[in-house]
Structure 1
Amino acid sequence: MEPKKNPKADLSRNTGLYFAVGLFAVMALTYFALEHKTYEGGNEYDISMNVDDDLDEEVPMTEQLKTPPPPPPPAAPEIIEVVEDEEEVEETVIESTESNEEEEVMEVEDVEVEEVDEDVDVPFAVIENVPVFPGCESESNKRACFNKMMQKHISKNFRYPEIAQEMGVQGRVSVMFTIQKDGSIGNVRMRGPDKNLEKEAARIISKLPRMTPGKQRGRAVRVPFSIPITFKLQ
């Protein structure tokens, strides 16, 4: 039987060639697609950054200063003269100050030592002979008599400040003073709740009479003394 189709019209005859051409075309398109590059339009860079390396200004050359060479050392003398020391120097002899057993020691006469009158303060509680308040000369216990007469003196001269009464101020004022070596009163100090009360306490102490000074080892000394004065409203 004869074939019905024309052999020239057989499409499957060149299939391999068509496949190879198509594959080559696809690979070519893929390659150009991957290698293709695009650039943005316009020059967006700073022209001021382009610095011309050619400088028209000439840089002066640094001159090198030449230092003068040091002066040559002085020439040594040809002849050295030796001068003899003709002056005689007296030697100083230092004698020993240590005593020998053979030397006699002179006896020294007795030296009178003068006692120094030390200006010291002896508290009232430890002094040997307490100051004597006027009127206590004949009393055997002069310390107790002194305290008794002090309380009597404060009660006799006590006066409550009017301004302190109006303000309702009250309290205790500690008074410290010193019985001097001549029996007078000095170095008066006060510490209390109000200046008016302190002022009144100082006035009371200023009226104390001159006393017989206290004595320590037979010498008159200064005797510090302190006493409280109480101001209390009725």
Structure 2
Amino acid sequence: MEIKKNPKSNLENYSKLFMQIGLVLALFITYVAIEKKTFDRQFGDLGDVVMNADLEEEIPITERIEPEIPKMPPPPTPEKIEIVEDEKEVEETIIETTETDETEAVEVEEIEEVEEAEEVIEDVPFTIIEDVPVFPGCKGNKAQLKACFNKKMKKHFNRKFNSDIAGDLGLSPGKKRIIMLFRIDETGNVVDVRAKAPHPRLQKEAIRIVKLLPKMKPGRQRGRPVGVKYTLPVGIMVE
């Protein structure tokens, strides 16, 4: 026979109610504990404590010493001012004027004009001239003009020299050296012709050949035409 339980005696139906009641009691106990008043513990009277007494410090009083200011000497006594009475005549200093009268003649020193001496450039050797003289027919730059000049001079000597003279002079066989020296002036003309040779006739022949040279374009130094010294050494064979 199965035992039947009474639904009212089943405590599980009241579990929610018990939980609510327990929660309310817990909150009430917590509230009472918070609202309970407490009092501070009292100690015996220790009397008044003065703190400022220990903090006071005695500061010594010092006397300020002012620096001594050097005494300045008194200002000098002004010179005695002489008072001139109205009746006393005072000498006036007359300043002569430097202006001249129109009627007076003024002497003017003559100003001599000094002509500046024109810089004279001496003759320049052919080897160091800036712009060499130009032999007729030569063209090109400075180096080409210089090489062409030397070539034209040797060609002129070989063409104009009379080789029969050397054979008639009775000179010993061999190579003979002739040096011709001349100057090409500022206008391009050949002047101051000289020659050195082993015989006077050879020297005369060399001078004749140089004088047959054509007029040239003069050499220039610093952009100005100048005289140019030229030396032409040549050799001839004597059989």
Whose radius of gyration is greater, 1 or 2? Answer: 2
TM-score by length of 2: 0.47
